[in-house]
Structure 1
């Protein structure tokens, strides 16, 4: 099978969409399939092209057996609605034209969060008369209004109509959460063509922490410190100002350190708050290459997974929880009650507290800091649960969906 996959995020970018696609694709290649990924020059989230790459019209590389085609796009930072739309639309057109030149694909897959990528996938499938699979990673454009990036308007209504058009035209929809599937069914999408493939963890890379990475420990002066980490994209949806407030409330405890590692639209705000409050218990770490992430995670005794208190985020499952399971790092999740909180509770891999509640987050940190037995119990549960979300299982499930669509 030749799988043609469209995504505007791909390694060396290290965000969740890039990681999911890459870790699935290398497994499809190992299973004997040909995989072509059409993407853009790596630039997420700062909107700056990574060293060693150019924003060229068409360039190719082979990455671990995956044929990667990079196309020219309008590049901007992950902030500002209008510029991001230009970014998305430019990728829609350039990926579509690049897709016309790929030899004999059997199936065309396009992934969200934004669905202009899916527009290109659908158009290619229509012209090349191949099945179109829509991988649904986010309910978009609802997530735009949820974080306040844009108010409900005529433009949003148009985007919603386009959204439903793509759902209905897809031969199959692969949702990353059961909640997304439920919502689509409620909106009239045929339930028979919606499958769920959760995010997962590559257990060959994310393994239980035996000791913290000594170089990072020394670099950031974390010897014998209990480290609470927010690692990943600093987005508007994460409400990171509340985590800064948590750190401020614990600044008198010299044994506890907080790290903020990554970049994104809210990074500048976090840095400004830390400097304004003169917080010495917060370590700011720049975005790291994907291959360094296990070493970075090894610093953390706890992982913070926050989302703002919006109804939409009941349906979201932050992918970092699976990496934390693989490494045996307990999670403190402060998101609206939903599918993600159910996973943490069912696997006993962390504590769940109210979204945006500074006092509850603080109490949960202190609870695991002070109660060694509880901490070790949750750590063990995390490690044991990780195999349920193995990337091997998820990649295999996607392949079976592709085969089912091809054999219709």
Structure 2
């Protein structure tokens, strides 16, 4: 089957970032399908590249996490219209697979279905527009209403809808038959990450907690700084925090760290994939951070699954399925982000008991291998498509 994959933020392994689309597209190719993928680049012109058998089309549409809301919308629309034009020029496409965000990629799939009778699958990484509405980006009630209509129309038009978390799946159920919705969470790359962690034998030995990801409004990494401040106030000088990433909130977060006189924070900046692995190898635990908006409790962040694959004590500040996972499998804990002292109290047993820490780390790796390994998720993904004869 000749499949057109639409993903505005496609990344290659050497670039780092979320690699879900790379591995899923590669799995399709290995299963005998032909895959062409349309994405965006910050370069000045259109070009093509063959990536692991995937024919990737790069459209010159700049995007950065520091963009304001209107500039982001402009990038989304530019990518959408350029993608429609390019998609209509491609020959022999039999199926379109579109992955959000942004939701506007659904326009490409709908155009192909309406004018070329090409069916499509729609992958939902975030419930959009609910997320930007709850975060306060979209306040106009009429715009909200139109975006909800558009979202539900995409779900109804899609031949299959793929949800990345149970919460996202629940958000779709009202608009799609349950037989046409599939849960396919993010993957843990157990082949790339190995469970390497500095040994701790006593309470006072260094304990490193790593945050790797975007420093954006939705992530609200200020919660982590407040936890770091609580550790400092409690005299836990052995607890160190490494923050790796960039985003619109970087300057504000660094100012907050200065205002709090934090001495336990290291700012790392953007890391490529190999560097992420190196820093995770230095960490005993990771912290997954999101704002407290209800919609963000449904997220399926790739760095959470990297933490499991690397065998780390996995700390989350969201309720919902991430909390359920770490508590059910004894591989981490939930800390109420509005109560920094809660973080200290729940971290303390792992500082005091090296065996408990090691057990949690081993449980994290076991969960990654048994439930979320790249090979397992890729095989489940392939089953969504017709078999190649």
> Is 2:347 aligned against 1:358?
no
Deviations, residues 85-117 of structure 1 (Å, cap 9, x unaligned): 111001101111111222312210111122101
Rounded Cα–Cα distance in structure 2 between residues aligned with 1:185 and 1:15: 29
2:157 matches 1:169? yes
Matched, 1:288 2:276: no
Which residue of the partner structure matches residue 202 of structure 2? Answer: none
> Structure 1 residues 310 and 350 mapped into 2: Cα distance closer, same or farther (>3 Å)?
same
Q: Distance in 2 between matches of 1:133 and 1:242?
A: 36
SS at match of 1:297: helix
Could you tell me how far 1:308 is from its partner in structure 2?
1.9
- 2:16 — aligned with what? 14
For structure 1, which runs of at least 5 residues remain unmatched after alignment?
42-48, 213-223
Equivalent residue number for residue 203 of structure 1: 190
Shift in CA distance, 202/15, structure 1 to aligned 2, threshold 3 Å: same
Distance 1:372 1:74 in 2: 47
Q: Is the 8 A contact 2:317 2:337 kept in 1?
A: yes
Deviation per CA, 1:385-407, whole angstroms, max 9, x where unpaired?
11110111212212211228x99
Q: Per-residue deviation at 1:361?
A: 1.6
TM-score between both structures, scaled by the size of structure 2: 0.91
Which residue is equivalent to 2:105?
A: 117
- Displacement of 1:258: 0.6
1:385 to 358, 364, 367: 367
Q: Specify the alignment match of 2:136 in structure 1.
A: 148
Q: Residue 125 of structure 2 corresponds to which residue in structure 1?
A: 137
What is the Cα deviation at residue 210 of structure 1?
5.3
Measured in 2, the distance between the counterparts of 1:121 and 1:78 equals 28
Matches of 2:190 and 2:284, distance apart in 1: 19
Conserved 8 A contact 1:330-1:378: yes
d(CA) in 2 for partners of 1:160, 1:76: 25
Measured after TM superposition, the shift of residue 381 of structure 1 is 0.8
- Residue 276 (structure 2) pairs with residue 274 (structure 1): no
Instruction: Work out whether 1:225 is the aligned partner of 2:212.
Output: no
Q: Deviations over 1:352-403 (max 9, x none)?
A: 2224321112222333222212111111111111111011121221221122
Determine the C-alpha separation between the residues in 2 that align with 1:178 and 1:210: 31
Q: Which runs of 4+ in 1 moved over 6 A?
A: none
1:237 aligns with: 218
* CA RMSD, 1 decimal: 2.1
1:399 equivalenced with 2:386 (yes/no): no
Look up the match of 1:29: 29
Call closer, same or farther: CA 1:14–1:127 in 2, change over 3 Å: farther
TM-aligned CA deviation for residue 281 of structure 1: 1.3
Could you say if the C-alpha distance between residues 396 and 152 of structure 1 is closer, same or farther in structure 2, counting changes exceeding 3 Å?
A: farther
Q: How does 1:331-350 map to 2 (within 5 A)?
A: 331-335=314-318, 337-350=319-332
Q: Are the counterparts in 2 of residues 60 and 67 from structure 1 also a CA contact under 8 Å?
A: yes
User: How big is the shift at 1:278?
Assistant: 3.4
1:47-83 superposed Cα distances (whole Å, 9 cap, x missing partner): xx4xxxx231x20011222211001225454442211
Partners of 2:147 and 2:62 in 1: how far apart? Answer: 20
Q: Is the 8 A contact 1:202 1:391 kept in 2?
A: yes
1:152 offset after TM fit, Å? Answer: 5.3
Residue 299 of structure 1 is aligned with which of 282, 293, 299? Answer: 282
Answering whether residue 148 of structure 2 is matched by residue 190 of structure 1, we say: no
Higher mean C-alpha deviation, range 269-278 or range 170-179: 269-278
8 A Cα contact 1:38 1:68, kept in partner:
yes
Q: Quick one: distance in 1 between partners of 2:181 and 2:248?
A: 32
Alpha-carbon deviations, 1:3-38, whole Å to 9, x = none?
21001111145333xx11012122222222222110
Query: Quick check: 1:7–1:112 contact (8 Å CA) kept in 2?
Result: yes
1:55 and 2:19 are equivalent in the alignment: no
CA contact (8 A) 1:258 1:283 kept: yes
CA contact (8 A) 1:107 1:402 kept: no
CA distance in 2, matches of 1:268, 1:35: 40
**Partner Cα separation in structure 1 for residue 2 and residue 368 of structure 2:** 30
Partners of 2:303 and 2:63 in 1: CA distance? 26
Whether 2:306 is the aligned partner of 1:323: answer: yes
